Amino acid sequence: MLRAAIGTALVFTASGTLLGTWVSRVPAVVKHLDVTPGELGRALLALGIGSLVSMPLTGHICRRVGSRAWVAAMSVTAALVLGCVGLAGNLWQLGAVLFALGLVYGSWDVAMNVQGSAVDRRAGKEWMPRYHACWSLGSIGGTALGSLAARHDVPIGYHFTAVAVGATLLTLAGLAFYVDERTDQAPATTTGRAKVSRELLLIGALTLCATVIEGAAADWLPLYLDTGRGLSEASAALGFTVFATAMTVGRFLGTPVAAWLGRAGAVRAGGFLGIAGVALTVLAPWMPLTYCGALLWGAGICLVFPAAVSAAGETGRPAESIALVTTIGYGSILVGPPAVGALADVIGLGNALLTLAVLAAAVALLAPTVSQKRQAGSASIAR
Protein backbone atom coordinates (compact mmCIF):
# COMPACT_ATOMS: atom_id res chain seq x y z
CA MET A 1 0.00 0.00 0.00
CA LEU A 2 2.99 2.34 0.33
CA ARG A 3 3.22 2.70 -3.45
CA ALA A 4 -0.48 3.55 -3.62
CA ALA A 5 0.00 6.13 -0.85
CA ILE A 6 2.87 7.73 -2.76
CA GLY A 7 0.75 7.81 -5.90
CA THR A 8 -2.08 9.46 -3.98
CA ALA A 9 0.32 12.03 -2.54
CA LEU A 10 1.58 12.89 -6.04
CA VAL A 11 -1.96 13.55 -7.24
CA PHE A 12 -2.70 15.77 -4.23
CA THR A 13 0.52 17.69 -4.93
CA ALA A 14 -0.45 18.21 -8.57
CA SER A 15 -3.90 19.45 -7.54
CA GLY A 16 -2.44 21.97 -5.10
CA THR A 17 0.07 23.17 -7.68
CA LEU A 18 -2.69 23.87 -10.18
CA LEU A 19 -4.74 25.93 -7.73
CA GLY A 20 -1.68 27.77 -6.39
CA THR A 21 -0.78 28.70 -9.95
CA TRP A 22 -4.20 30.27 -10.53
CA VAL A 23 -4.13 32.19 -7.24
CA SER A 24 -0.64 33.56 -7.90
CA ARG A 25 -1.66 35.21 -11.18
CA VAL A 26 -5.01 36.69 -10.14
CA PRO A 27 -3.48 40.22 -10.10
CA ALA A 28 -2.24 39.70 -13.66
CA VAL A 29 -5.70 38.55 -14.77
CA VAL A 30 -7.25 41.65 -13.16
CA LYS A 31 -4.84 43.93 -15.02
CA HIS A 32 -5.30 42.04 -18.28
CA LEU A 33 -9.10 42.34 -18.19
CA ASP A 34 -9.17 45.72 -16.39
CA VAL A 35 -11.86 44.65 -13.91
CA THR A 36 -12.68 45.90 -10.43
CA PRO A 37 -12.33 43.76 -7.29
CA GLY A 38 -16.13 43.49 -7.13
CA GLU A 39 -16.31 42.24 -10.70
CA LEU A 40 -13.53 39.76 -10.01
CA GLY A 41 -15.45 38.57 -6.95
CA ARG A 42 -18.45 37.71 -9.12
CA ALA A 43 -16.22 35.75 -11.48
CA LEU A 44 -14.63 33.91 -8.56
CA LEU A 45 -18.10 33.01 -7.31
CA ALA A 46 -18.53 31.04 -10.55
CA LEU A 47 -15.51 28.94 -9.54
CA GLY A 48 -17.12 28.01 -6.23
CA ILE A 49 -20.53 27.36 -7.76
CA GLY A 50 -18.98 25.04 -10.33
CA SER A 51 -17.36 23.01 -7.57
CA LEU A 52 -20.58 22.77 -5.57
CA VAL A 53 -22.45 21.54 -8.65
CA SER A 54 -20.05 18.69 -9.45
CA MET A 55 -18.97 17.53 -6.01
CA PRO A 56 -22.22 15.89 -4.86
CA LEU A 57 -22.35 13.88 -8.10
CA THR A 58 -18.78 12.63 -7.98
CA GLY A 59 -19.28 9.96 -5.33
CA HIS A 60 -21.81 8.13 -7.49
CA ILE A 61 -19.54 8.46 -10.53
CA CYS A 62 -16.56 7.04 -8.63
CA ARG A 63 -18.72 4.16 -7.47
CA ARG A 64 -19.45 3.36 -11.11
CA VAL A 65 -16.13 3.98 -12.87
CA GLY A 66 -13.59 4.13 -10.02
CA SER A 67 -11.54 7.05 -8.74
CA ARG A 68 -8.55 6.28 -10.98
CA ALA A 69 -10.47 6.77 -14.22
CA TRP A 70 -12.28 9.84 -12.90
CA VAL A 71 -9.15 11.52 -11.52
CA ALA A 72 -7.48 10.94 -14.88
CA ALA A 73 -10.39 12.50 -16.76
CA MET A 74 -10.85 15.45 -14.41
CA SER A 75 -7.17 16.29 -13.95
CA VAL A 76 -6.50 16.38 -17.69
CA THR A 77 -9.63 18.46 -18.25
CA ALA A 78 -8.69 20.83 -15.41
CA ALA A 79 -5.27 21.33 -16.97
CA LEU A 80 -6.86 22.15 -20.32
CA VAL A 81 -9.33 24.57 -18.74
CA LEU A 82 -6.58 26.32 -16.76
CA GLY A 83 -4.74 26.92 -20.02
CA CYS A 84 -7.87 28.67 -21.32
CA VAL A 85 -7.89 31.25 -18.51
CA GLY A 86 -5.29 33.29 -20.35
CA LEU A 87 -7.54 33.34 -23.43
CA ALA A 88 -10.46 35.02 -21.63
CA GLY A 89 -11.01 38.42 -23.20
CA ASN A 90 -13.70 39.79 -20.89
CA LEU A 91 -15.36 39.21 -17.54
CA TRP A 92 -18.10 36.96 -18.92
CA GLN A 93 -15.57 34.69 -20.62
CA LEU A 94 -13.49 34.56 -17.43
CA GLY A 95 -16.59 33.63 -15.42
CA ALA A 96 -17.44 30.85 -17.87
CA VAL A 97 -13.90 29.47 -17.77
CA LEU A 98 -13.79 29.61 -13.97
CA PHE A 99 -17.17 27.87 -13.73
CA ALA A 100 -15.79 25.07 -15.92
CA LEU A 101 -12.61 24.97 -13.82
CA GLY A 102 -14.71 24.69 -10.66
CA LEU A 103 -16.73 21.83 -12.16
CA VAL A 104 -13.72 19.69 -12.99
CA TYR A 105 -11.47 20.75 -10.12
CA GLY A 106 -14.12 20.11 -7.47
CA SER A 107 -14.86 16.69 -8.90
CA TRP A 108 -11.14 15.90 -9.04
CA ASP A 109 -10.86 16.89 -5.37
CA VAL A 110 -13.58 14.45 -4.29
CA ALA A 111 -12.20 11.59 -6.39
CA MET A 112 -8.66 11.87 -5.06
CA ASN A 113 -10.01 11.91 -1.49
CA VAL A 114 -11.99 8.75 -2.28
CA GLN A 115 -8.75 7.10 -3.37
CA GLY A 116 -6.85 8.35 -0.32
CA SER A 117 -9.50 6.94 1.99
CA ALA A 118 -9.40 3.58 0.21
CA VAL A 119 -5.62 3.36 0.54
CA ASP A 120 -5.79 4.18 4.24
CA ARG A 121 -8.49 1.57 4.87
CA ARG A 122 -6.52 -1.16 3.13
CA ALA A 123 -3.25 -0.23 4.83
CA GLY A 124 -4.83 0.34 8.24
CA LYS A 125 -2.99 3.67 8.42
CA GLU A 126 -3.85 7.35 8.98
CA TRP A 127 -2.12 8.88 5.95
CA MET A 128 -4.93 11.27 4.98
CA PRO A 129 -3.40 14.28 6.80
CA ARG A 130 -0.17 13.81 4.85
CA TYR A 131 -2.03 13.76 1.54
CA HIS A 132 -3.55 17.11 2.44
CA ALA A 133 -0.13 18.37 3.52
CA CYS A 134 1.15 17.45 0.06
CA TRP A 135 -1.70 19.49 -1.40
CA SER A 136 -0.53 22.45 0.69
CA LEU A 137 3.05 21.98 -0.48
CA GLY A 138 1.86 21.87 -4.08
CA SER A 139 -0.11 25.06 -3.53
CA ILE A 140 2.93 26.78 -2.03
CA GLY A 141 5.07 25.58 -4.95
CA GLY A 142 2.52 26.77 -7.49
CA THR A 143 2.35 30.17 -5.80
CA ALA A 144 6.14 30.46 -5.71
CA LEU A 145 6.42 29.58 -9.40
CA GLY A 146 3.68 32.09 -10.15
CA SER A 147 5.55 34.80 -8.29
CA LEU A 148 8.66 34.00 -10.31
CA ALA A 149 6.69 34.05 -13.56
CA ALA A 150 5.11 37.40 -12.66
CA ARG A 151 8.49 38.89 -11.82
CA HIS A 152 9.78 37.96 -15.27
CA ASP A 153 6.57 39.05 -17.03
CA VAL A 154 5.80 35.58 -18.36
CA PRO A 155 2.45 35.73 -20.23
CA ILE A 156 -0.39 34.05 -18.36
CA GLY A 157 -1.15 31.69 -21.23
CA TYR A 158 2.41 30.36 -21.45
CA HIS A 159 2.73 30.09 -17.68
CA PHE A 160 -0.56 28.27 -17.17
CA THR A 161 0.06 25.91 -20.09
CA ALA A 162 3.51 24.93 -18.79
CA VAL A 163 2.18 24.26 -15.29
CA ALA A 164 -0.81 22.36 -16.69
CA VAL A 165 1.50 20.02 -18.60
CA GLY A 166 3.69 19.45 -15.55
CA ALA A 167 0.71 18.84 -13.25
CA THR A 168 -0.79 16.39 -15.74
CA LEU A 169 2.43 14.39 -15.96
CA LEU A 170 2.69 14.31 -12.16
CA THR A 171 -0.91 13.14 -11.88
CA LEU A 172 -0.48 10.40 -14.47
CA ALA A 173 2.62 9.18 -12.62
CA GLY A 174 0.58 8.95 -9.42
CA LEU A 175 -2.33 7.19 -11.11
CA ALA A 176 -0.03 4.31 -12.04
CA PHE A 177 -0.10 3.28 -8.36
CA TYR A 178 -3.83 3.76 -7.70
CA VAL A 179 -5.96 0.90 -6.37
CA ASP A 180 -9.50 0.01 -7.42
CA GLU A 181 -11.57 1.00 -4.41
CA ARG A 182 -14.92 -0.11 -5.85
CA THR A 183 -14.62 -3.58 -4.30
CA ASP A 184 -14.49 -1.97 -0.83
CA GLN A 185 -18.00 -0.51 -1.02
CA ALA A 186 -20.84 -2.49 0.46
CA PRO A 187 -24.30 -2.27 -1.06
CA ALA A 188 -26.54 0.01 0.97
CA THR A 189 -29.46 -1.39 2.92
CA THR A 190 -32.34 0.57 4.38
CA THR A 191 -30.89 0.27 7.87
CA GLY A 192 -27.41 1.13 6.64
CA ARG A 193 -28.64 4.29 4.93
CA ALA A 194 -30.35 5.52 8.08
CA LYS A 195 -27.27 4.87 10.18
CA VAL A 196 -24.98 6.52 7.65
CA SER A 197 -27.27 9.57 7.52
CA ARG A 198 -26.99 10.08 11.26
CA GLU A 199 -23.23 9.63 11.17
CA LEU A 200 -22.80 11.95 8.22
CA LEU A 201 -24.95 14.62 9.82
CA LEU A 202 -22.50 14.84 12.72
CA ILE A 203 -19.42 14.50 10.52
CA GLY A 204 -20.85 17.21 8.29
CA ALA A 205 -21.40 19.50 11.28
CA LEU A 206 -17.79 18.93 12.33
CA THR A 207 -16.61 19.69 8.80
CA LEU A 208 -18.65 22.89 8.67
CA CYS A 209 -17.14 24.18 11.92
CA ALA A 210 -13.58 23.34 10.88
CA THR A 211 -13.72 24.79 7.38
CA VAL A 212 -15.33 28.04 8.55
CA ILE A 213 -12.47 28.44 11.04
CA GLU A 214 -9.90 27.68 8.35
CA GLY A 215 -11.50 29.88 5.70
CA ALA A 216 -11.87 32.81 8.10
CA ALA A 217 -8.13 32.74 8.76
CA ALA A 218 -7.36 32.92 5.04
CA ASP A 219 -9.77 35.80 4.40
CA TRP A 220 -9.65 37.84 7.60
CA LEU A 221 -6.50 37.13 9.63
CA PRO A 222 -4.11 39.38 7.64
CA LEU A 223 -6.68 42.18 7.54
CA TYR A 224 -7.30 41.96 11.29
CA LEU A 225 -3.58 42.01 12.09
CA ASP A 226 -3.22 45.06 9.84
CA THR A 227 -6.26 47.14 10.83
CA GLY A 228 -7.09 45.70 14.24
CA ARG A 229 -3.62 45.22 15.70
CA GLY A 230 -1.80 47.98 13.82
CA LEU A 231 0.78 45.76 12.11
CA SER A 232 2.32 46.65 8.77
CA GLU A 233 1.09 44.80 5.70
CA ALA A 234 4.28 42.71 5.67
CA SER A 235 3.94 41.81 9.36
CA ALA A 236 0.25 41.00 8.89
CA ALA A 237 1.10 38.72 5.97
CA LEU A 238 3.69 37.02 8.18
CA GLY A 239 0.92 36.19 10.63
CA PHE A 240 -0.97 34.28 7.96
CA THR A 241 2.27 32.61 6.85
CA VAL A 242 2.67 31.32 10.41
CA PHE A 243 -0.88 29.97 10.29
CA ALA A 244 -0.41 28.28 6.89
CA THR A 245 2.95 26.79 7.88
CA ALA A 246 1.44 25.38 11.06
CA MET A 247 -1.35 23.83 8.98
CA THR A 248 1.11 22.16 6.59
CA VAL A 249 3.58 20.92 9.21
CA GLY A 250 0.74 19.78 11.45
CA ARG A 251 -0.70 17.66 8.67
CA PHE A 252 2.64 16.00 8.02
CA LEU A 253 2.80 15.18 11.73
CA GLY A 254 -0.83 14.08 11.75
CA THR A 255 -0.14 10.39 11.19
CA PRO A 256 1.96 9.83 14.35
CA VAL A 257 -0.30 12.17 16.35
CA ALA A 258 -3.39 10.18 15.33
CA ALA A 259 -1.56 6.94 16.17
CA TRP A 260 -0.74 8.32 19.61
CA LEU A 261 -4.03 10.00 20.54
CA GLY A 262 -6.41 8.24 18.19
CA ARG A 263 -8.21 10.13 15.44
CA ALA A 264 -10.91 11.47 17.76
CA GLY A 265 -8.34 12.40 20.40
CA ALA A 266 -6.29 14.33 17.86
CA VAL A 267 -9.37 16.24 16.69
CA ARG A 268 -10.44 16.96 20.28
CA ALA A 269 -6.98 18.29 21.13
CA GLY A 270 -7.10 20.35 17.95
CA GLY A 271 -10.37 21.92 19.04
CA PHE A 272 -8.84 23.03 22.34
CA LEU A 273 -5.75 24.35 20.55
CA GLY A 274 -8.04 26.23 18.19
CA ILE A 275 -9.81 27.92 21.11
CA ALA A 276 -6.47 29.01 22.57
CA GLY A 277 -5.15 30.09 19.17
CA VAL A 278 -8.10 32.29 18.26
CA ALA A 279 -8.17 33.86 21.73
CA LEU A 280 -4.44 34.60 21.71
CA THR A 281 -4.54 36.02 18.19
CA VAL A 282 -7.30 38.48 19.06
CA LEU A 283 -6.60 39.29 22.71
CA ALA A 284 -2.84 38.90 23.30
CA PRO A 285 -1.28 42.24 24.31
CA TRP A 286 2.16 41.31 22.96
CA MET A 287 2.73 40.77 19.24
CA PRO A 288 4.88 37.61 19.59
CA LEU A 289 1.97 36.05 21.48
CA THR A 290 -0.31 37.03 18.61
CA TYR A 291 1.92 35.07 16.25
CA CYS A 292 1.85 32.16 18.71
CA GLY A 293 -1.93 32.38 18.52
CA ALA A 294 -1.83 32.13 14.73
CA LEU A 295 0.42 29.08 15.08
CA LEU A 296 -1.97 27.37 17.52
CA TRP A 297 -4.92 28.32 15.30
CA GLY A 298 -3.38 26.52 12.33
CA ALA A 299 -2.07 23.58 14.34
CA GLY A 300 -5.43 23.09 16.01
CA ILE A 301 -7.56 23.00 12.90
CA CYS A 302 -5.17 21.23 10.51
CA LEU A 303 -6.27 17.63 11.17
CA VAL A 304 -10.03 18.10 11.37
CA PHE A 305 -10.98 18.05 7.69
CA PRO A 306 -8.70 15.08 6.83
CA ALA A 307 -10.15 13.22 9.83
CA ALA A 308 -13.70 13.95 8.65
CA VAL A 309 -12.89 12.62 5.18
CA SER A 310 -11.36 9.47 6.69
CA ALA A 311 -14.40 8.92 8.90
CA ALA A 312 -16.75 9.39 5.94
CA GLY A 313 -14.69 6.85 4.02
CA GLU A 314 -15.37 4.21 6.67
CA THR A 315 -19.11 4.20 6.04
CA GLY A 316 -20.83 1.59 3.90
CA ARG A 317 -20.82 3.90 0.86
CA PRO A 318 -17.50 5.75 1.16
CA ALA A 319 -17.50 7.48 -2.24
CA GLU A 320 -20.89 9.13 -1.75
CA SER A 321 -20.12 9.97 1.88
CA ILE A 322 -16.79 11.61 1.04
CA ALA A 323 -18.50 13.57 -1.73
CA LEU A 324 -21.04 14.92 0.76
CA VAL A 325 -18.45 15.85 3.39
CA THR A 326 -16.22 17.54 0.82
CA THR A 327 -19.17 19.49 -0.56
CA ILE A 328 -20.03 20.71 2.93
CA GLY A 329 -16.41 21.78 3.37
CA TYR A 330 -16.31 23.77 0.14
CA GLY A 331 -19.71 25.30 0.80
CA SER A 332 -18.63 26.37 4.28
CA ILE A 333 -15.50 28.04 2.93
CA LEU A 334 -17.67 29.98 0.46
CA VAL A 335 -20.33 31.02 2.98
CA GLY A 336 -18.43 31.20 6.28
CA PRO A 337 -15.97 34.05 5.68
CA PRO A 338 -18.65 36.39 4.25
CA ALA A 339 -20.74 35.63 7.34
CA VAL A 340 -17.79 36.62 9.54
CA GLY A 341 -17.51 39.83 7.52
CA ALA A 342 -21.20 40.62 7.99
CA LEU A 343 -20.86 40.00 11.72
CA ALA A 344 -17.77 42.24 11.80
CA ASP A 345 -19.85 45.13 10.48
CA VAL A 346 -22.00 44.84 13.61
CA ILE A 347 -19.57 43.95 16.43
CA GLY A 348 -16.13 44.61 14.94
CA LEU A 349 -13.70 42.24 13.24
CA GLY A 350 -11.88 41.22 16.41
CA ASN A 351 -15.08 40.22 18.19
CA ALA A 352 -16.32 38.45 15.06
CA LEU A 353 -13.14 36.38 14.96
CA LEU A 354 -13.59 35.51 18.63
CA THR A 355 -16.82 33.72 17.73
CA LEU A 356 -14.63 31.19 15.93
CA ALA A 357 -13.58 29.96 19.37
CA VAL A 358 -17.16 28.75 19.82
CA LEU A 359 -16.84 26.73 16.61
CA ALA A 360 -13.52 25.34 17.86
CA ALA A 361 -15.30 24.24 21.04
CA ALA A 362 -17.88 22.52 18.85
CA VAL A 363 -15.03 20.73 17.06
CA ALA A 364 -13.82 19.35 20.40
CA LEU A 365 -17.37 18.33 21.31
CA LEU A 366 -17.98 16.57 17.97
CA ALA A 367 -14.60 14.80 17.92
CA PRO A 368 -16.04 11.33 18.80
CA THR A 369 -17.88 11.30 15.46
CA VAL A 370 -14.58 10.62 13.65
CA SER A 371 -13.49 7.67 15.80
CA GLN A 372 -11.97 4.83 13.79
CA LYS A 373 -14.43 2.18 12.66
CA ARG A 374 -11.99 -0.56 11.62
CA GLN A 375 -13.81 -3.70 10.66
CA ALA A 376 -12.64 -7.23 10.13
CA GLY A 377 -13.27 -6.85 6.46
CA SER A 378 -10.76 -4.05 6.30
CA ALA A 379 -8.03 -6.27 7.68
CA SER A 380 -8.71 -8.96 5.13
CA ILE A 381 -8.56 -6.39 2.35
CA ALA A 382 -5.24 -5.09 3.64
CA ARG A 383 -3.78 -8.58 3.56
Q: Can you state the angle between helices 287-301 and 263-283, rounded to 10 degrees?
A: 160
The secondary structure element, H or E, covering residue 266 is helix 263-283
Same domain, 232 and 123: no
Nearest to 268 by CA among 210, 181, 190: 210
Residues 133, 212, single domain; the answer is: no
Cα distance from N-terminal residue to C-terminal residue, the chain: 10
Taking only the tens place, the pLDDT of each residue in 82-112 is 988 888 888 899 999 999 999 999 999 999 9
Classify the C-alpha dihedral 59-64-69-74 as positive or negative: negative
- The whole domain housing 109 covers 2-177
Q: Predicted confidence band at 352 (pLDDT cuts at 50, 70, 90)?
A: very high
Cα of 352 vs its chain's centroid, Å? 23
Distance in angstroms (rounded) separating the CA atoms of residues 96 and 36: 17
Same domain, 160 and 222: no
Q: 137 lies in a domain?
A: yes
- Same domain, yes or no: 156 and 220: no
Q: Looking at the structure, do residues 199 and 132 belong to the same domain, yes or no? A: no
**110 and 197 share a domain?**
no
Give the model's pLDDT for residue 7: 96
Residue 286 lies in a domain: yes
CA gap 331, 348 in Å, rounded: 24
Same domain assignment for residues 93 and 205? no
Banded model confidence at residue 200, pLDDT cuts 50, 70, 90: confident
> What are 15-65's pLDDT values in tens digits?
999 988 888 888 788 888 888 767 877 888 888 899 999 999 999 999 899
Better pLDDT: 305 or 41: 305
> How far apart are the C-alpha atoms of 263 and 126, rounded to whole Å?
8
**What local confidence, expressed as pLDDT, does residue 280 receive?**
95
Mean pLDDT check: name the lowest of 150-154, 176-180, 314-318, 362-366.
314-318
- Structural domain contains residue 125: yes
| Domain edge (last residue) among 143, 177, 211 | 177
Tell me: do 220 and 270 sit in the same domain.
yes
Residue 87: inside a domain, yes or no? Answer: yes
Cα atoms in the Cβ-side hemisphere of radius 13 Å centred on 190: 0
Q: Is the pLDDT of residue 154 over 70?
A: yes
**Of 153, 177, 201, which one is at a domain's C-terminal end?**
177
CA distance 100 to 120: 31
Q: Mean per-residue pLDDT for 210-224? A: 88
Angle at 139 between CA 61 and CA 343, to 5 degrees: 85
| Phi (first) and psi of residue 231, to 5 degrees | -80, 160
Kindly report the CATH number assigned to the domain that includes residue 206. 1.20.1250.20
CB 174 within 8 A of CB 14: yes
Whether residue 138 sits in one domain with residue 72: yes
Confidence bin at 227 (pLDDT 50/70/90):
confident
The pLDDT score that the predictor gives to residue 373 is 67
Query: Is the CB of residue 109 less than 8 Å from the CB of residue 15?
Result: yes
Q: How far apart, in whole angstroms, are the C-alpha atoms of residue 317 and residue 305?
A: 19
Per-residue pLDDT averaged across 176-205, rounded?
70
Residue 310 or 316, more confident: 310
> What is 166-186 written as a DSSP string?
HHHHHHHHHHTT---GGGGPP
Inside any domain, residue 204: yes
**Which amino acid is residue 328, in one-letter code?**
I
205 and 348, same domain (yes or no) = yes
Work out the pLDDT band at 228, boundaries 50, 70, 90: confident
Which pLDDT score, from 0 to 100, does residue 252 have? Answer: 92
pLDDT at 39: 80
Please check whether residue 274 is in contact with residue 297, taking contact to mean a CB–CB distance below 8 angstroms: yes
Band the pLDDT of 193: cuts 50, 70, 90. Answer: very low
Domain boundary among 142, 177, 212: 177
- The total number of structural domains that make up the chain: 2
Q: Where is pLDDT greater, at 92 or 233?
A: 92
Q: Is residue 75 part of a domain?
A: yes
> Do residues 205 and 310 share a domain?
yes
Closest CA to 214 of 331, 302, 309, 312: 302
Residue 183 in domain: no
Report the distance separating Cα 43 and Cα 40, nearest Å. 5
pLDDT bucket at 272, cuts 50 / 70 / 90? very high
Examine the pLDDT at 197 and tell me if it is beyond 70. no
pLDDT score, position 383 = 26
Q: What's residue 185's pLDDT?
A: 59
Nearest to 163 by CA among 174, 151, 149: 149
Do residue 148 and residue 265 come from a single domain? Answer: no
In a domain, 186, yes or no: no
The pLDDT score that the predictor gives to residue 187 is 53
Chain mean position to CA 328 = 11
